[in-house]
Amino acid sequence: MKQDIHPDYHKITVVMTDGSKYDTHSTWGKEGDVLQLDVDPKTHPAWVGGVNLRKTGQMEKFQNKFKDFGVASSKKAAPAEAPKKKEAKAAAPKDVAPKKEEAVAAPEAEKKEE
């Protein structure tokens, strides 16, 4: 084994965010240094349970992005009622030009009367 290639493994003091302290061994710093933590298991949401993974998924991201578009929402808009064909035919005016056969027969009738 090579000499003097490994880091110095020594005792340090770790201070949590709430002020509690404990001693541990580490390669960080020098013997007796104090490591002040900004985030620790007592306050971070990953350990405390503050992160809800369901609200950070791809489907939720998509639904939040397109919620006003109408595609991603679970509520379906009521379709507009289209007029029925039978009602449309009944509403057509009766003063419609005569069919082709009737139009052809009418001039012949006029000729016979003269």
58 in a structural domain: yes
40 in a structural domain: yes
CA distance 106 to 94: 19
29 in a structural domain: yes
User: For the segment 62-108, what is each residue's pLDDT rounded down to a tens digit?
Assistant: 888 888 886 544 555 555 555 566 555 555 555 656 565 555 555 55
Domain holding 17, by residue range, is 10-65
Residue 50 clears pLDDT 80, i.e. is over it: no
Tokens read off for 79:
């379709």
Question: How many structural domains are present in the chain?
Answer: 1
Cα torsion through 87, 89, 91, 97, rounded to 10: 180
18 in a structural domain: yes
User: For the segment 3-16, what is each residue's pLDDT rounded down to a tens digit?
Assistant: 889 889 999 999 99
Query: Rounded to two decimals, what is the model's pTM?
Result: 0.40
56 in a structural domain: yes
Identify the bridge partners of residue 13 per DSSP, sorted by sequence position. 23, 34
